[in-house]
A = this chain, B = another copy of it.
Amino acid sequence: MLGWARPYQRRLLAGDVSAGVIVAMMMVPQAMAYAMVAGLPPVVGLYASIVPPLLYALFGTSMTQSVGPMAIISLMTASSLAPLAVPGSALYGVLAAQLALMSGGLLLLCAVARVGFLANFFSRPVMSGFTLGSALLIAWGQLAALLGTGAPHALPIVPMVSSFAGLSVHPASAAFGILSALALLWARRSLASLLRRAGLAPGAASIGARLAPMLVVVVASAVVALAPGLAAGVATIGAVPAGLPTLNLATASSYWSALLQPALLIGFMIFLISMSSAQALAQAGGRAGDEPAPAPVKPAANLELLGLGVANIGSALSGGLPVTGSMSRGAVNHAAGANTPLASIISAALLALALVAPTGYLALVPMPTLAATIIVAVLGMLELETLRTALRYDRSDALALAGTAGGVLVAGVEAGVVIGVLLSMGTLIWRASRPHIAVLGRIAGSEHFRNVERYPGGTAPSVLLLRVDAFLFFGNIDAVSARIDDELAARPGLRHLVLVLSAVNAIDTSALFGLADINRQLAARGVLLHLAEVKGPVMDRLKAVKLLESISGNVYLSTANAWDALTKA
């Protein structure tokens, strides 16, 4: 906690200040837009951009992470609350904060239970597919606001498509929306190089280009203010209450159990998204002009859980919504010079100032423009490199990616998380169920035994040495048993089977029972089962359940011992 603050060096300050200012400018339209994705008033997004980053600065792990509202988490919030309350109602706001509270509480529980390894429940292709599906769903969901059709929020995609039938486009709104989108797309493609040619340093130019959403929002609001005739009938954000968030302790007591499953899924995705953002930032390495950086600090999963848990509870208590670390803001923060979490503290302070100052100008921001910033931002999340690589490299991973993306689009974002976990685990179980098993032979004139497929080695008709190169568990013990059956069928003279466990780090309870079954079946066929090179920790456990006494053969320290004893016998 605050490990960075004690030895704070003044040379870091300039970078932290400039990053704080730039992220704050990026955050204003983004926070309002992502509150809109969640079905909440824009000011709620601003509230969630003040307290959570402050708390994450105190408790989190990443130096340059930017915690706040994030598109996918907002989508999940909307999809969880849709069956429970009407967007815009007081209950809806209470439930959004309650969801942040519960997600935060679950993340804290996970931190205490030290189950950070849960981040490994999603493979990279599945995460990529989940992001792809969610981004399309978010973009699609904002089309109505972009075109001013006033279609209801409806998820997932099938009812959403049908909800468009019979709606008519509002021309002025569509003009605002489409022009804003075109401006943003142009800025993404060309603004950085234009700024470079105008004389800015490459780093500054690319940061400048990231402020395009702020600029577009300001220009569009100015048009509304100066030419109200042009903007007739265009929805705007409307009055944003001035003042800092106040302490929110409201909860709807009859909704705890209905929110439990959404809170679990949202908490899980908050963790995954923030971890992958923190990892990317740790790997980003030094910026041009920096002194050589020390080895990057890799994010510690359990500490990250703690920081995110506290940040979400803070968001709930200040009337916000579930938050997480955002890759796009984190990257800007890093690129703009952030050295420590002081940058986040500065940007939170600036957002607080913006709320204390008169907020009347925010009321003029046209909704179609905000929708355009969301659509362009999530289209930027579409990362196709993983899909391209997986297609060439491993079809099953490409299938898992497509299955997760399709699951999100067809069954919704919550079902998509479950589908993603199942597909990650499915590919894992499928691969793990084919462990590498080698028949060993003796290298002539030595004590060494190697895979006979790669080194010609001595074997004996009555003794078979099998080495399994995987820990033994419920998913591969049947494969080991089947391989033994095959070897036995091919070796009628076999009397001794030696399992060489030099690469077996662990044997789970299922595999323990499996070994006992293998022992029994071998005995029924007149073959003795021996073990060799059992590792210390594995040996200790096997002794506790007396497996070593119950097997028909012996336990040998080394393969050579087993070989000598059994071939001479």
A residues at B contact (CB < 8 Å) = 115, 117-118, 120-125, 283, 285, 295-296, 298, 386, 389-390, 392-394, 397-398, 421-422, 424-436, 443, 446, 448, 450, 469-471, 473-475, 478, 481-482, 485, 489, 503, 505-506, 508-510, 512-513, 517, 520-521, 524-525, 541, 544-545
Contact = CB atoms under 8 A, between A and B. Distances in A.
Given A509-B394, A521-B283, A121 B545 contact: no
B512 A393 contact: yes
Contacts of A474: 120, 122-124, 424, 428
B397 A508 contact: yes
Contacts of A429: 117-118, 120-121, 428
Contact of A436 (B433, B505, B521): B505
B432 A432 contact: yes
A335 to B, nearest CB: 18
Given A510-B124, A510-B125, A389 B431 contact: no
Mostly helix, strand, loop or mixed at chain A's interface? helix
A513 B469 CA distance: 23
Nearest to A513: B124
18 contacts: A123-B509, A123-B510, A124-B509, A296-B521, A298-B482, A386-B509, A389-B512, A393-B509, A393-B545, A394-B508, A397-B509, A425-B425, A431-B473, A431-B508, A436-B505, A448-B448, A470-B471, A503-B503
Given A470-B470, A503-B436, A520-B283, A428 B430 contact: no
A392 B545 contact: yes
A422 B296 CA distance: 33
Nearest to A283: B517
A488 to B, nearest CB: 8
Given A446-B446, A448-B448, A525-B295, A431 B397 contact: no
Q: Which 8 A-B pairs have the closest CB atoms?
A: A124-B510, A123-B474, A397-B509, A469-B503, A120-B475, A436-B505, A390-B509, A123-B510
A270 to B, nearest CB: 18
A509 B427 CA distance: 11
A442 B34 CA distance: 58
A540 to B, nearest CB: 10
B125 A509 contact: yes
Contacts of A517: 283
A117 B430 contact: yes
Contacts of A421: 422, 425
A512 B390 CA distance: 10
B295 A123 contact: no
Interface centre among A295, A435, A469, A510 (most CB of B within 10 A): A510
A123 B508 contact: yes
A259 B520 CA distance: 43
Contacts of A503: 436, 469, 503
Contacts of A431: 471, 473, 505-506, 508
A562 to B, nearest CB: 16
B392 A544 contact: yes
Given A474-B122, A474-B123, A513-B386, A541 B393 contact: yes
A421 B425 CA distance: 10
A537 to B, nearest CB: 11
A474 to B, nearest CB: 4
Interface centre among A124, A392, A426, A446 (most CB of B within 10 A): A124
Given A283-B521, A508-B427, A393 B298 contact: no
Contacts of A470: 469-471
B473 A428 contact: yes
Interface centre among A436, A474, A524 (most CB of B within 10 A): A474
Given A298-B482, A389-B513, A508-B394, A428 B426 contact: no
Contacts of A117: 429-430, 433
A389 B509 contact: yes
Given A124-B510, A469-B470, 14 more contacts: A117-B429, A117-B433, A118-B429, A120-B474, A125-B509, A283-B517, A295-B489, A421-B422, A428-B474, A428-B475, A446-B446, A469-B505, A470-B471, A503-B503
Contacts of A512: 389, 393
Contacts of A443: 448
A443 B447 CA distance: 11
A175 to B, nearest CB: 40
A349 to B, nearest CB: 34
Contacts of A506: 431
Nearest to A544: B392
Nearest to A398: B509
A525 B296 CA distance: 11
A80 to B, nearest CB: 18
Interface centre among A426, A434, A475, A509 (most CB of B within 10 A): A509
